Amino acid sequence: MLAAPEDVAPAFRDAWMARDGDAIAALFVQDADFVNVVGIWWQDRAAIGRAHGYALQSFFADTRLVLGRVKTRRIGGDAAVVHARMILTGQRAPDGTAAGRRVTILSFVMERRGDGWLCVSAQNTDIVPGAETQVAGAEGLAATDYRG
Amino acid sequence: MLAAPEDVAPAFRDAWMARDGDAIAALFVQDADFVNVVGIWWQDRAAIGRAHGYALQSFFADTRLVLGRVKTRRIGGDAAVVHARMILTGQRAPDGTAAGRRVTILSFVMERRGDGWLCVSAQNTDIVPGAETQVAGAEGLAATDYRG
C-alpha cells in the first residue's frame, strides 16, 4: 500500500531494480489491468507479477530503470493518474547482444483503498522519436513519420 | 459532456468517423493528457483536437474505426477507466498505398464534471500479435518475441 498516488513511480522503479515481480504485483489491486508496450493486456495482479518476474529474470535481467518526469493528477479524493517517463538501459536482444536505450511513458491509474493507494490500471508506451503513428505493412507495424 | 463514462468509446468512434477533430477535443478537459501509439504526449485539449484533425484529413482520411470490447471500471463516484479495443482499417501508407489493419487498446480515464463526464487522460497502444516487448536496435524499435 502506498502513502500517496505518485509513490507508485519510484516504487515500480525500486521493484524493477530488485528484479522482484512480487513487489511489482503488490502495487496493484487483485483485478488490475496492465497494457504493455506491444498491447499485451493482463487483467489480474498475479499475471502482472508473473510476466514482470519472468522478464526481469531474462531479457531485463541486467537493465537499469531510471525515472524521468512524474506528473500527478488527482481526480476527486479517491483517484489519481500518474504519468512517469522511464529510461531503460541494459536490455538484451534475442541474440544475446546489447540492445539500445528505450524511453517509455508508463501511466498509472490509482485508487485510494483504506489508508493507502493501489494501482487499478497501467499502460506503457515506447517513445519513438520523429514518428507520428504506426503503419501496418508486410513486415508488421512500423512507426512512421508522414511529414517527410 | 457524456452521460456515462463508457459513452466515451462510441463518442470517440463517431467523432473519428465524422473526421471531426473538434468533436474529439470536446470529449476532453482543457488540460487533458493523451499519449498516442508512438509516445507523443499531448497535454491540452486544443493540441489533441489539432493532431487528430490533421491525421483525419490526411493518412486517416479513408479509415474505418470499429469498436471491439469496451471494459469500464468505476473508481469511487467521480472517476472511471474505460478500456476500448479499436479496429482500424483503410489507413494510407506514406507512399500512398493501402496500409494494413491495426488493432489498438485505447484507454480513457474519465472524471465526473457536474452533470456529465469528460476524459482527463487517454493512452493508445497497438497490439502486436506474438510479441512480448520492444527492442531498440540499429533500425529503431522492433516488437519482439524472445520465446521463439
CA distance linking residue B6 with residue A137, whole number of Å: 32
What's the 3-state SS for A30-94?
A: EEEEEECCCCCEECCHHHHHHHHHHHHHCCCCCCEEEEEEEEEEEECCCEEEEEEEEEEECCECC
What pLDDT is stored for residue B61 in this prediction? 97
Report CB contact under 8 Å: A36, B137.
no
What does pTM read for this prediction?
Answer: 0.97
Q: Are B86 and B66 in contact (CB under 8 A)?
A: yes
Q: What radius of gyration, in Å, describes the C-alpha atoms of chain A?
A: 16
- If one counts every other C-beta atom within 10 angstroms of the C-beta of residue B81, the result is 23
Cα dist. A88→A92, A97, B93, B98, B142 in Å?
11, 16, 30, 34, 15
Return residues 125-144 of B near A (CB < 8 Å).
Answer: 125-128, 131-138, 140-141, 143-144
Question: Dmax of chain A from CA atoms?
Answer: 52
Report CB contact under 8 Å: A136, B91.
yes
What pLDDT is stored for residue B139 in this prediction? 85
CA distance linking residue B75 with residue B44, whole number of Å: 23
CA distance linking residue A40 with residue A43, whole number of Å: 10
pLDDT band of B1, cuts 50, 70, 90:
confident
Q: Quick one: average pLDDT of A64-73? A: 98
Q: Are A83 and A107 in contact (CB under 8 A)?
A: yes
What pLDDT is stored for residue A1 in this prediction? 87
- Residues B32-80: tens digit of each pLDDT: 999 999 999 999 999 999 999 999 999 999 999 999 999 999 999 999 9
Sort out which chain A residues have CB atoms less than 8 A from B32's CB and list them: none
Of A77, A104, A125, the CB nearest to B37: A125
What pLDDT is stored for residue B105 in this prediction? 98
Q: Which residues contact B12 (CB under 8 A, 6 or more apart)?
A: B24, B27, B84, B106, B108
**Percent of chain B scored above 70 by pLDDT?**
99
What pLDDT is stored for residue B67 in this prediction? 98
Cell readout for B147 is: 520465446
SS3 B146: coil
Length of chain A: 148
Q: Which residues contact A35 (CB under 8 A, 6 or more apart)?
A: A41, A122, A123, A124, B83, B105, B107, B123, B125
What pLDDT is stored for residue A147 in this prediction? 85
Sort out which chain B residues have CB atoms less than 8 A from A81's CB and list them: 33, 109, 120-121
- In 3D space, the residue among B12, A80, B134 whose CA is nearest the CA of residue B2 turns out to be B12
- Residues A79-110: tens digit of each pLDDT: 999 999 999 999 999 999 999 999 999 999 99
Q: Quick one: average pLDDT of B105-131? A: 97
HSE-CB at A68 with a 13 A cutoff on CA atoms is 13
What pLDDT is stored for residue B138 in this prediction? 87
- In 3D space, the residue among A35, A78, A6, A103 whose CA is nearest the CA of residue B82 turns out to be A35
Cell readout for B89 is: 482499417
The distance from CA B7 to its chain's CA centroid, rounded to whole angstroms, is: 14
A81 CB within 8 Å of a chain B CB = yes
The dotted CATH code for B5-144 is 3.10.450.50
- Residues A1-27: tens digit of each pLDDT: 899 999 999 999 999 999 999 999 999
CA distance linking residue A70 with residue A56, whole number of Å: 23
B112 CB within 8 Å of a chain A CB = yes
- Residues B10-39: tens digit of each pLDDT: 999 999 999 999 999 999 999 999 999 999
